[in-house]
Each structure stands twice: as structure tokens, then as C-alpha cells.
Amino acid sequence: MKENNWIKIANPLIKQGNSFCVRIPSSVIKQMKAKRGDYMVMKVKKVDLELTEGVLEAYYKETRKCKKTSNFSREKVYFLGSIVFLEGKKIIDTNRNKLTDTMPLSEQKKLLKVQNDYRNKIKKELGEKLYKDYILLRECLERKVK
């Protein structure tokens, strides 16, 4: 298999029965046109969820691909990217690494409230203009804008 056919994901290791599993998001399964029973080949590596310059540089490279963020300076991407990273970490920590597409609605609402509270705090602290740039960066990193 060629290296460019690989999709990188990072998810927590979970226990299922006597085994350990790594969940693959449904969006990745759809993208691969995979179905239950298909065999998957994985490269496995333990990672720490740490904000590093490498993470921020990867964010910067992604912003170059999006029209709406391609004019952001490296400093702006690093600053806003660190906030994006911390938002994701806060959500993961809140739900103790149990993020799934099939989580109960009550848990989804709880996470949405954590996310909204965090974003309202950021909006208040950054101001309207910088907050809009923050949202554009998030959308670019989530591939919601081109």
C-alpha cells in the first residue's frame, strides 16, 4: 500500500472485553468506503497530547491551503492554534477520552456546553475580530472551509 493512501488519526486506547481497541471515526470509514468485516492495516505509535511547535507548524501548513486563512501570519496561527488545541484538550479531558459518534445525547449536550462556554470565554478575551479569525482557523483545520 502506498504511503499516500494512509489516513492519520489519533484516538485514545480503550478496553473492550479482554482486548484493547482504537476507534476509527465514522467519517474516516466513509472516506475509505470501508464496511464491517473489512480488514484494516494500521501503523501504531503512542503519542502524548502535547502542544509542540511541530503541532503549530502543521496548523500553519494547513492554513496555507485555505483561502480564508492563507493570509494569516505564522505568529497569528501559532497564537490562535494554541487556543484551538487547548479547546480540543479541554473537551477530551471533560469526557475522559470517551468521545464517540454514538455517545448518549445527554453527554453530547454536556460537551457542547463545555465547548460553548470555552468559546464564549475566548470571544470575550480576544475581541470580535480575533475571535472571527479563531473560528476561521478552526473551520480550516476541520476542513469546513476551502
Closest CA to 130 of 119, 114, 140, 141: 119
Q: pLDDT band at 106, cuts 50/70/90? A: confident
For residue 15, what pLDDT is reported?
Answer: 85
Mean pLDDT on 110-118:
86
Show me where the domains of the chain are located: 53-141
More confident residue, 134 or 89: 134
Q: Quote the pTM value.
A: 0.61
The predicted-structure confidence for 127-141, as pLDDT tens digits, reads as follows 999 999 999 999 998
Percentage of the residues of the chain whose pLDDT score is greater than 90: 36
Mean pLDDT on 57-69:
93
For residue 146, what pLDDT is reported?
Answer: 55
More confident residue, 34 or 49: 34
For residue 1, what pLDDT is reported?
Answer: 47
The predicted-structure confidence for 2-39, as pLDDT tens digits, reads as follows 556 677 777 778 888 899 888 887 878 888 899 999 99
Q: Kindly tell me if the per-residue pLDDT of 75 is higher than 70.
A: yes
For residue 131, what pLDDT is reported?
Answer: 94
Beta bridge partners of 22: 13
Q: Is 137 exposed, middle or buried (0-12, 13-18, 19+ CB in 10 A)?
A: buried
Helices assigned H by DSSP within 33-127: 53-64, 74-94, 105-126
Quote the mean pLDDT of the chain.
83
